[in-house]
Structure 1
Amino acid sequence: MSTVSRLFNTPADDIWKVIADGWLYSGWVVGASRIRAVDAHRSLELVARGWPLGEAKVVITLEDMGTQCRVSIAEDAIRGPGKLVPKVLRDPLIDVRNRETLSRLELMAAGGAGS
């Protein structure tokens, strides 16, 4: 899986508030144009569907460091044409998108979204 991490200057609780509100995903997840459903009991392991590339497994983890938090996103194609793209070409593209996703998540968490 392609994994990117970023150290946020925001407490983990503030980040969890944004992540826990599934309706906010389109505001910070690059490429998410709409949310089809929100499950109050979901975990942070997701299946992302992206036409025409197929599906990807996404795992988001938070490491609480007091006033800071390290957030990581691991992702890889699991179904569809995207899985046929060689990993050496696929990973850099995933990394670019997920770095921007982490930037947006940090801004939303620092700004009090999800409160």
Structure 2
Amino acid sequence: MTTVELEIPVPPDQVFALLADGWSYAGWVVGATHIRDVDEGWPAVGTRIHHSVGAWPLQIEDETVVLAVLPGSALELRAKLWPFGVAKVRFELTSVAGGGTGVSMSEKAVSGPGALMPEAVQALFLRPRNRETLRRLADVVLHSGNG
């Protein structure tokens, strides 16, 4: 899996609150452009975010499904990566000195054309995108009035 990390100077529960807000994903996930619906109970296992990817008029309707959740500390998702296939994405939150949160985001293509690429090649595409995703996550957490 390709992993990127970032420290955010707020407690893990504040970061997890944003992960648990499915309606916020288009505001910080690189590539997600519009949230069409969020299943009731998100982020319970099996619930989905229904989102669009890409710029109009070439938007693709996709979804992201919760595979596992540990409230306050971890969220694992199955995300469609059109046209590359499906990826497994895991966010892990750890407390760090000073009351902040270490956020780790790991991703790996698990089916479709992307899964045929060696992990080192996947990393060339995923690492920059996921670093920007974590930067956006931090910005939203810090400027939401909760940080």
Preserved contact between residue 21 and residue 114 of structure 1 (Cα < 8 Å): no
RMSD across aligned positions (CA): 1.9
Greater CA drift, 65-74 or 96-105: 65-74
Q: Aligned residue for 1:16? A: 16
More strand by share: 2
Q: Aligned residue for 1:91? A: 123
- Give 1:69's match in structure 2, choosing from 101, 109, 112: 101
Preserved contact between residue 18 and residue 113 of structure 1 (Cα < 8 Å): no
What residue ranges of structure 1 are gaps of 5+ in the alignment?
A: none
1:47 is the counterpart of 2:78: yes
1:104 is the counterpart of 2:133: no
1:37 is the counterpart of 2:38: yes
Identity of aligned residues (%): 40
1:3 is the counterpart of 2:3: yes
**Counterparts of 1:88 and 1:107, CA distance in 2:** 28
What residue ranges of structure 2 are gaps of 5+ in the alignment?
A: 46-68, 70-74
TM-score, normalized by length of structure 2? Answer: 0.71
Tell me the CA shift for residue 92 of structure 1.
2.2
Greater CA drift, 62-71 or 76-85: 62-71
Preserved contact between residue 45 and residue 57 of structure 1 (Cα < 8 Å): yes
Q: Aligned residue for 2:110? A: 78
Q: Deviations over 1:9-29 (max 9, x none)?
A: 122122112111011011111
Preserved contact between residue 7 and residue 68 of structure 1 (Cα < 8 Å): yes
**Counterparts of 1:80 and 1:48, CA distance in 2:** 12
Q: Equivalent residue of 2:10, what SS?
A: coil
Preserved contact between residue 63 and residue 71 of structure 1 (Cα < 8 Å): yes
Q: With a CA cutoff of 8 Å and minimum separation of 6, indicate the structure with the bigger relative contact order.
A: 1
Tell me the CA shift for residue 31 of structure 1.
1.1
**Counterparts of 2:78 and 2:146, CA distance in 1:** 22
Q: Who wins on radius of gyration, i.e. which is larger?
A: 2
